[in-house]
Structure 1
Amino acid sequence: MPEATQRPYHHGQLRSALLAAAERSLRAHGEEQLSLRELAREIGVSHAAPRRHFPDRQALLDALAEAGFERLYTRLRAACTEAGDDFLPRLRATVAAYIRFATEDAALLELMFTSKHRPGADRLVVAADPAFDLMYDLIKQGQAAGELVEGDPERVGVVLFATMQGIATLVNGDMVKPELLDGLVDTAVEQFVRGARPA
């Protein structure tokens, strides 16, 4: 019998099952190996079933990236909230949360950023805004407290973002041991604040 008649078309939670399977595939094999047909086979539906939610592979990748941005924002917001009201503890907690996300979900983060900058990816730009707005609001808090130099929060935050990405890249590339991460975060935050402090 052909595969299409052997496998069921319907699945109670098809969209979420596809996204979960796609994330597992992304972590294990990278973006290039991700296939709608293989995902359908993995979760036990017909090869045509995924197209009910994702008309093509790019639509699935975009949905995966969008969910990634939502998860990143949730983590950053939780870290910031749990750290209390003061700027420095909030900054440290948020930086640590970002770097942990970037090292635990490296392939997903790469997909998030490459997809966001693809022409026509307006939904992803919108999905990314809350996480970046949270970081910019944190920079503004530091400016209002006199801890950081005045100016465009995006411009002030570029060095911080580059530092976070750099540390994550070093950990992901096995150039820095993950157990050194907490100390690196402390050093990075201290050096950023010292370098961005008003003259």
Structure 2
Amino acid sequence: MAKYHHGNLRNTLIKVATELLAEEGTHALSLRKMAQRAGVSHNAPYMHFADKEAVLAEIAEEGFRLLAMEIESAIATADTSTYGRLIAASNAYIRFALDRPNHLQVMFRPYEVEKYPSLLAASQVALNCLFELVKSGQENHTLIAGDPHQMTKSIWAMVHGVAVISIAYQTNMLLPENTSIDDGVASVFVGFLLDGLATKKA
């Protein structure tokens, strides 16, 4: 086997692992397969990753960083209303799930979080995007009063549920034919939740 001369082996291994996940699923991933695909010795991945869980944690962290970026971008281009921004963030979450289902799968598997503090921090950044929107909505009185953390978790749970269903059954199981994600999934299903959280005007 030829020696691996590239200096960025860690990133190469993550790229390879992500490809293997897409092809074979989490259960089939191994450091040995990663080494074979990358063209390095079987021991080379252990210079960067202690075990398979460490690889999955790295992919999960990357997923949360990408998710936060997509949510932040969607919020930045949405209208200024709390409702509009929450819908935009929800749509971005579901698009991310449909585009990167393998990332989503490993992002929400159990980890020993004390071993991966950077993974926990990355997940909190994504969650904080929604929290800040909720807090802003309460401050401008467009959302009802209450614990903003619990409200954020409720919205997250709803959006994540729609995302998982969308992956499993595709959006045509949830929406009328030819209805896009932006026009339908988050707007319809998350909209029901947001309507319940909105303040009622006399």
**TM-score between the two structures when normalised by the length of structure 1:** 0.87
Unaligned runs of 5+ in 2: none
In the alignment, which residue of structure 2 is the partner of 1:191? 192
In the alignment, which residue of structure 2 is the partner of 1:103? 98
Equivalent position amino acid for 2:124 in 1 = D
CA distance in 2, matches of 1:198, 1:84: 19
Task: Report which stretch shifted further, 122-131 or 82-91.
Answer: 82-91
Tell whether the 8 Å contact from 2:86 to 2:133 is kept in structure 1 after alignment: yes
CA shift, 1:22, in A, is: 0.8
| CA shift digits 1:127-162 (9 cap, x unpaired) | 211100111001111111212111211211233222
The 5-angstrom pairing of residues 46-125 of structure 1 reads 46-116=41-111, 120-125=115-120
CA distance in 1, matches of 2:160, 2:130: 14
Q: Match for 1:144 among 139, 143, 149?
A: 139
CA shift, 1:119, in A, is: 6.0
Task: Report which stretch shifted further, 136-145 or 50-59.
Answer: 50-59
CA shift, 1:74, in A, is: 0.9
CA distance in 1, matches of 2:115, 2:12: 26
Equivalent position amino acid for 1:137 in 2 = E
Tell whether the 8 Å contact from 1:116 to 1:124 is kept in structure 2 after alignment: no
SS at match of 1:151: coil
CA shift, 1:115, in A, is: 3.9
CA distance in 2, matches of 1:152, 1:102: 27
CA distance in 2, matches of 1:130, 1:76: 10
Unaligned runs of 5+ in 1: 1-5
Residues matched between the structures, number: 194
Moved over 6 A (4+): none
CA distance in 1, matches of 2:153, 2:50: 36
CA shift, 1:175, in A, is: 5.7
User: RMSD between aligned alpha carbons?
Assistant: 2.1
CA shift, 1:195, in A, is: 0.6
Percent sequence identity is 32
SS at match of 2:57: helix
**TM-score between the two structures when normalised by the length of structure 2:** 0.86
CA distance in 1, matches of 2:170, 2:11: 35
Tell whether the 8 Å contact from 1:103 to 1:171 is kept in structure 2 after alignment: yes
Choose between structure 1 and 2: higher helix proportion.
Answer: 1
Equivalent position amino acid for 2:93 in 1 = Y
